């Protein structure tokens, strides 16, 4: 690009946007030049130039990056507006679009416009998963055999579940996997490659919500690796901050096991051994998820400036949506779904 700093504009100023704005403010390669939200007071509260809509923000200046921090029903319109106004790099929150058909369509439009479209799937950027990937790639656990993540945020009980933070969670017809479990769909594929098959058993425990809030999802990966997402939003885990890791994990191989605890620490125990060795110390970041939002956004900024590959570009992320759809199909049919089965767009 030749530039040393990128301009960024953000669309959306709801609950989670605080982590986006806070991260951009600390990234030396970027400067935030605008915040847009239908509730102008929320945009003004970000401390950057505020706008009531995307169009007026883009009229004031076309940014190098547009960061879309909105729920899925708003993604398509925002992306099309940005492409029409000549924005060449767009970051979009997850879940990405309302379904695979819409996500595929906007991805193709972005490609035809010569624009980069990146999905803000940030869990793979949590420092513990980067450390686990590094240790696994280096052969620390020997031949990888399996991994298990136990989602235990403990926030799903009672009639007021989720209302204090993200109340729309109660109205989502598909919840545990679509909104939350999709993070580990991407994380598992980051660690072990795209799964070849999935089997799911999902259920709803809290009657005040519309979607599922507990379940098991088993993934087959290349080279015989199996992973398990064991999700239950009613139960908790041992942590001072239930949203730091949102649970605990074990990644096992022929030579040992890497364990993630609720404080963000990672340990290694060799096969046949009793003592554990520290791999990553406990997390001290007070914000969300080991500062993973910052790590993703700086990865994009540096990648654009240095011309290095970007993770989770939309074309690649379509696979996550396809896997998510297969999970629900498995739960509905009670059978394992092979992911080489052809995808058929739904008839509207």
pLDDT tens-digit readout, 155-198: 999 999 999 988 989 999 999 999 999 999 999 999 999 999 99
Kindly indicate the confidence band of residue 348, based on its pLDDT and cuts at 50, 70 and 90.
very low
Q: How many residues does the chain have?
A: 348
Domains of the chain: 6-120 (3.40.50.720), 124-289 (3.30.360.10)
Q: What is the pLDDT of residues 36-87, one digit of tens each?
A: 999 999 999 999 999 999 999 999 999 999 999 999 999 999 999 999 999 9
Structure tokens at 224: 């015989």
The pair of three-digit structure tokens given for residue 22, joined into one six-digit string: 């806070």
Distance of alpha carbon 274 from its chain centroid, rounded?
Answer: 34
Q: Are 119 and 314 in contact (CB under 8 A)?
A: yes
Looking at every residue in the chain, the average pLDDT score rounds to: 95
Q: How does pLDDT run across 104-133, given as a tens digit for each residue?
A: 999 999 999 999 999 999 999 999 999 999
| Phi, psi (degrees; rounded to nearest 5) at 122 | -100, -10
Instruction: Say what the pLDDT of residue 92 is.
Output: 98
Q: Which two tokens stand for residue 20?
A: 């986006």
Predicted TM-score (pTM) of this structure: 0.93
Read off the pLDDT band of 2 (50, 70, 90). Answer: low
3-state class percentages of the chain: helix first, strand second, coil last, to nearest 5: 35, 25, 40
CA 161 to chain centre: 21
């Amino acid at each position: 690009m030749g530039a040393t700093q990128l301009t960024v504009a953000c669309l959306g100023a709801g609950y989670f946007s605080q982590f986006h704005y806070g991260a951009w403010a600390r990234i030396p390669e970027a400067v935030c030049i605008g915040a847009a939200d239908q509730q102008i007071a929320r945009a003004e509260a970000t401390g950057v130039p505020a706008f009531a809509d995307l169009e007026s923000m883009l009229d004031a200046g076309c940014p190098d990056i547009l960061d879309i921090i909105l729920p899925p029903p708003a993604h398509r319109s925002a992306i099309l507006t940005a492409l029409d106004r000549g924005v060449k790099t767009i970051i979009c929150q997850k879940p990405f679009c309302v379904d695979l058909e819409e996500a595929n369509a906007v991805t193709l439009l972005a490609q035809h416009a010569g624009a980069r479209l990146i999905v803000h799937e940030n869990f793979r950027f949590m420092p513990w998963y980067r450390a686990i990937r590094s240790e696994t790639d280096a052969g620390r656990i020997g031949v990888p055999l399996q991994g298990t993540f136990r989602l235990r945020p403990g926030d799903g009980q009672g009639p007021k579940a989720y209302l204090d933070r993200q109340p729309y969670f109660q109205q989502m017809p598909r919840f545990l996997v679509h909104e939350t479990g999709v993070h580990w769909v991407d994380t598992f594929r980051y660690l072990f490659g795209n799964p070849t098959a999935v089997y799911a058993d999902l259920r709803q425990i809290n009657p005040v919500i519309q979607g599922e809030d507990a379940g098991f999802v088993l993934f087959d990966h290349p080279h015989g690796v199996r992973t398990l997402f064991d999700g239950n939003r009613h139960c908790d885990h041992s942590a001072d901050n239930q949203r730091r890791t949102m649970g605990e994990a074990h990644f096992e191989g022929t030579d040992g096991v890497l364990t993630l605890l609720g404080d963000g620490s990672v340990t290694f125990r060799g096969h046949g051994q009793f003592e554990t060795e520290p791999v990553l110390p406990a997390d001290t970041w007070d914000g969300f998820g080991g500062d993973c939002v910052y790590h993703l956004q700086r990865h994009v900024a540096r990648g654009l400036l240095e011309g290095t590959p970007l993770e989770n570009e939309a074309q690649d992320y379509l696979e996550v949506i396809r896997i998510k759809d297969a999970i629900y199909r498995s739960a509905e049919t009670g059978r394992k779904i092979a992911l080489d089965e052809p995808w058929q767009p739904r008839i509207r």
